Structure 1
Amino acid sequence: MDVLDWFSQWYDAQCDGDWEHGFGASIGTIDNPGWSLKIDLKGTDCDGRTLDRITHNDAHDTDWWTCWTEDNVFRGAGGPRHLSSLLETFRDWATR
């Protein structure tokens, strides 16, 4: 399944009338340039799980990404072509 389709289904499954109002997920941009990903884990099947920081760096300044959890939030950041890397890392971690 395409990672965006998977993430859409995962998000929909979390929406219970409360979670989406106080928590949620956000995808934004950063000025490096690149992407940021923030997914609140409270109340999800990933609540309380942790991920030590994992990082990918290549020779090119924009070919990088990193993901980790902090304060019960899955976080990711990466270069402009790595939004799918962030989502795939979340999927791999969340379904483990």
Structure 2
Amino acid sequence: MDIIQWLEEWYLSQCDGDWEHGYGIKIETLDNPGWGVEINLMDTYLENKDFTSVQVERNDDDWLFCKVENNTFTASGGPKNLHEILVKFKEWSTI
């Protein structure tokens, strides 16, 4: 299963008729350029799970930062790092 299919399954598993109305997933582009990802963890099995922040800076186009703060997985990365961001979320969420 590729990472997009996995994320679709994760999202669907959170949808309970209520969660999806107040929470969800945002994926957007950044102007530096890059990607921004926010995944709300409120009322999920990940709500209180510890996360060790990630900071990788390889070059101007190859970087990522991931953290969990206020029950939200927040990440940003270079223009080719969206896949890596989503893999970091998957790895953490399935441990």
Calculate the TM-score normalised by the size of structure 1.
0.94
Give 2:61's aligned residue. 62
The one-letter code of the counterpart of 1:24 is G
Q: Is the 8 A contact 1:56 1:64 kept in 2?
A: yes
The one-letter code of the counterpart of 2:24 is G
**1:62 Cα deviation after fit:** 1.1
Give 1:53's aligned residue. 53
Structure 2 portions without partners, runs of 5+: none
SS in 2 for 1:26: strand
Q: Percent identity at matched positions?
A: 42
Structure 1 portions without partners, runs of 5+: none
Residues of 2 paired with 1:2 and 1:25: CA distance?
18
**1:52 Cα deviation after fit:** 2.7
Q: Is the 8 A contact 1:35 1:79 kept in 2?
A: yes
Calculate the TM-score normalised by the size of structure 2.
0.95
Residues of 1 paired with 2:63 and 2:11: CA distance?
25
Give the number of aligned pairs. 95
Give 1:26's aligned residue. 26
